[in-house]
Amino acid sequence: MTNELITPQEHERLLVHGQARAEGLTIDPLPVVRLFTPDAHVTWLLAALDPTDSDTAYGLIDLGLGMPELGHVKLSDLASIVGPRQQPVMRDRYFQATRTLSDYVRLAQANGSIVD
């Protein structure tokens, strides 16, 4: 299952990382997709997708409160979110990961927000 927040290619890459995590492998992939709310300063750097439901994503979550952390989020939930100015969650079409997920986490926690 894909949705408008991720492309079919991103979906496949997220599933590959999710399958590795499901098999108990220790991986530190490049994030695949950056999602954000244009009017609420919330960002998700997603790196994996649960292969059992293709909806539960894993990655770095920055709610704009100065405490970014790793976590899970459902793509179906993100698709229904709108910000204070009625802007939906959007995919950063130009996002190209420049570091591994753990590096993004380390920098985000030191900075209080996702860096890039």
Per-residue pLDDT reduced to its tens digit, 62-98 = 998 999 999 999 999 999 988 888 889 999 999 999 9
∠ CA 36-37-39, nearest 5°, is 145
Q: What is the pTM of this model?
A: 0.91
Confidence of residue 40 (pLDDT cuts 50, 70, 90): confident
Give the residue-averaged pLDDT of 98-115. 95
AA identity, residue 2: T
pLDDT at 84: 81
How far is the C-alpha of 113 from the C-alpha of 108, rounded, in Å? 5
81-96 b/e (C-beta count within 10 Å ≥ 16 → b): eeeeeeeebebeeebe
Average pLDDT in the chain: 93
Whether 2 shows a pLDDT value over 70: the answer reads: no
**Sign of the CA dihedral with 7 first, then 28, 48, and 52 last:** positive
